[in-house]
Each structure stands twice: as C-alpha cells, then as structure tokens.
Amino acid sequence: MALRYIRSYDDELLRKKSRPVEAISNKILTLLDDMKDTVISANGLGLAAPQVGVLRRVVVVRHEDAYYEMINPEIIETRDTQIKSEACLSVPGKQGKVERPAYVKVRATNRDGEEYEVEGTDILAVGFCHELDHLDGILFIDKAVEIVDRDDDEDDEEI
C-alpha cells in the first residue's frame, strides 16, 4: 500500500467523467488500499479515484470507525436538504457552503464484487454526494453558494 498524490482543482483531469469499473482486478484492489491510506494520511473524510489521477468510478469514504469502499457507486434515493460547510483535499485552503440532500442511499459494489446499499445522513450524506460528484468532474466549488479561505488552525476533516 502506498500514499497517492492528490491532484489540485486546476488539474483538468478532475473535470473529466470517470469510467465504470468493468472487472475488479488487482489494480482496483491496490487503488482501494492506496486511497484508504491516502485519505487517512491527509485527514480527509473521503477520496475519489480522479483525485489520485485514476478516471474510474471508485470512491472511499470514512465516517467514525467505518470505511466505505465503493466501486461504481450511484445515488438511488435522496430526501430533504441541508446546507453544510465543505472543504476538499483537491481544493486546499478553501471551504464553502453547499446545499446537499440530508439523506442519501447509495448502491455500490464492494471489493469482493458484491452489490450493497448504504444509507447516510448529515455529514455522511454530504461525504457520499461530494465524492460521487468527483466521478462526474464536479467539485464542491461548482455548487458552493459562498467560498472563503479556510482557517489553517481548523481541525475539521476535509471531505
């Protein structure tokens, strides 16, 4: 397992749409492991494959003690809305308020090739939406109603 370089918002690769994973290969498993190590090292809430230079529909989200490895994830249900402050590992030094669903249900495939569904509310719902947006070339700054400089002393996790 290794740490991967996280691309910045001005990298045009982050604006491209990711391709589905056709087969779960050793490369995909290594990518998942590396993304988990990278998000932990960066103190992030989640990481999408494009952020580490891979245009595949792969996401890792962590919440409390749980890690969600998602291959070909899709949001299948949303409810209500919330506005939360977001930051991003690919947009260092910035944060912004974004309106997102307050509840989401995501269907994805795990590393063993099994399809599953997971529900998220509050910050977990934000994390799922934020990371899945990356798979379509969308950054939180595209949706933010206000973007401000992030206080370097903040301990908040970056989504």
Q: Active-site residues: which are they?
A: 131
Chain centroid, CA 157 distance in Å: 12
- First-to-last alpha carbon distance for the chain, in angstroms, is 22
Per-residue CA distances from 44 to 41, 77, 86, 88, 100 (Å): 8, 25, 11, 8, 19
Q: Rounded distance, CA 152 to CA 146, Å?
A: 18
